[in-house]
Amino acid sequence: TKICVIGLGYIGLPTSALFANEGYDVVGVDINEHVVEQVNQGSIHIEEPGLDDMVAQAVKSGRLSASTKPVAADYFIIAVPTPVHDDHSANTDFVVKATESIAPVLQKGNTVIVESTIPPRTISDIVAPALKSAGFDAATNDVYLAHCPERVIPGNIVHELKYNHRIVGGFTPEAMEKAAAIYKQSVEGDVRETEAVVAEMSKLMENTFRDVNIALANELSKVADHLNIDASDVIDMANMHPRVNILQPGPGVGGHCIPVDPYFIIEKAKDTTPLMQTARDINDSMPSYVLDKMKAMIGDVQNPTVALLGLTYKGNTSDMRESPALQLIERMQADAPNMTFKCHDPFVAAETDAFPHDLYSLDDALNGADLAVVLADHQSFKDLTGDTFTSQMQSPVVFDTRNIYKQLDGVTVHSLTNLVDT
Ligand code: SAJ
């Protein structure tokens, strides 16, 4: 059985390697020649623990290769991005382009699986018609069309790809069975079979649930500040209840999934999604809230310098997509032009288009700073002791927006769950 995977990003590349290591012949396709060359050499362009070994093994075995053009196969797996437009509407262009790109090599009886996260009814309203235009009627099983949403978390992809449960939504019952077959053979989790639209909606609800839960934690941190209560204690205590699990407040919700996916539902049901919309607004308000608190911490220092530590969307990754740090910098430039900021992130090596600001070493960023703001929970930040701050800062004050420090000797530590006298 041969599989052709379209898109060699965070999902497509590990998925290609997984199936290759399970004994399938896999060709991974990407429009980026550099990515294709690298994969063919058995190396990777993504930072993800364990993925390098997994890809190296797959390429070495001869079962995984990469190409810039789709090739004939039994199964096609589409794993391309689905971003949102500026007005928050879904951009399914990449999914449509990927579908069109396989048309020349597609044959009757093939199976086409979309793993990209997509708005409800995209399989029936967008992908099936695109296949029909190419001469394949998925409704009558010319090709078997299904949606099997990816559900792996960056940072633990290699494990979750194998062990997470999977949802396989068929456009027809036959397509559901065909698609489920390869996952059943390759993953250890359960494979749940359903209709395409249920699979689409389930995936979106997973990320929306997380967004709403984080919004609740963020709202709690604001309430607790107002009432002068330690919100971490509240979360710890409440979570002792067997049916409660409040997540952690933070400087905002970043990444390319959680802050995007709720809009795929909202777009289709504007009048019936006030909770989802409010959760988005609360989470989007956090960078401004953090800036207000920073101003209070700085007090009347005239031209303060602030060290921003951790620029990525979460800890232990180099991914800066939709990072709260970027939002915070925008807010600072607009609302606090007197603040000078010095950025440091051990995962971000150099200034890029995605991050057009100077970068400093940790010591240089802290040197002479009036305030240090921790924005990502990197392990190396968790390991720091008070000395790092006291040796460089005038009067050491840390705003720990990720709640990683219980205390730092000689340092005043504010967190979102416990703001000291601001
Ligand atoms: N965050 C908080 N508080 C928390 C947890 C997270 O503020 O308690 C923030 C993070 O710092 C980050 C953002 O939320 O900025 C999102 O991070 P995340 O770790 O919650 O999730 P992602 O975006 O890395 O991956 C999510 C996962 N979805 C769920 O856990 C329901 C993953 O399983 C999905 O496959 C992925 O989205 C995706 O691709 O859709």
Digit-coded pLDDT (tens) for 242-275: 999 999 999 999 999 999 999 999 999 999 999 9
Predicted complex ipTM: 0.98
SS3 333: helix
Topology of the domain covering 198-422: Rossmann fold (3.40.50)
Residue closest by Cα to atom 27 of ligand 1 = 153
Q: Is the pLDDT of residue 194 over 90?
A: yes
Q: Could you tell me the two tokens for 49?
A: 């623990």
Kindly report, residue by residue over 94-138, the tens digit of the pLDDT: 999 999 999 999 999 999 999 999 999 999 999 999 999 999 999
Domain boundaries, given as residue ranges, for the chain:
2-189, 198-422
Entry field: residues in the chain: 422
Residue closest by Cα to atom 25 of ligand 1 = 153
Q: Is the pLDDT of residue 422 over 60?
A: no
| Mutation pick for ligand 1 pocket among 80, 158, 236, 257 (CB with most ligand atoms within 8 Å) | 257
The CATH code of the domain at 2-189 is 3.40.50.720
DSSP state of 270: G
Q: Which residues, 6+ apart, have CB-to-CB distance to 209 below 8 Å?
A: none
**Beta pairing class for 371-374 and 397-400:** parallel
Does ligand 1 have an atom closer than 6 angstroms to the CB of 250?
A: yes
Kindly report, residue by residue over 310-333, the tens digit of the pLDDT: 999 999 999 999 999 999 999 999
pTM (global) more than 0.95:
yes
* H-run or E-run covering 400: strand 397-400
The pLDDT assigned to 328 comes to 98
How much is the average pLDDT of 204-233? 97
How much is the average pLDDT of 353-368? 94
Q: How far is CA 35 from CA 11, 189, 348, in A?
A: 14, 30, 20
Single-letter code of the amino acid located at 215:
A
Contact indicator for 117, 261 with CB cutoff of 8 Å: yes
Q: How many angstroms is it from 122 CA to the middle of ligand 1?
A: 23
Q: How far is CA 230 from CA 143, 274, 335, 377, in A?
A: 57, 29, 28, 20
Same fold, 2-189 and 198-422: yes
The pLDDT assigned to 417 comes to 86
Does ligand 1 have an atom closer than 6 angstroms to the CB of 139?
A: no
Does ligand 1 have an atom closer than 6 angstroms to the CB of 154?
A: yes
Q: Which residues, 6+ apart, have CB-to-CB distance to 202 below 8 Å?
A: 149, 167, 194
How far apart CA 365 and CA 398 sit, in angstroms, is 13
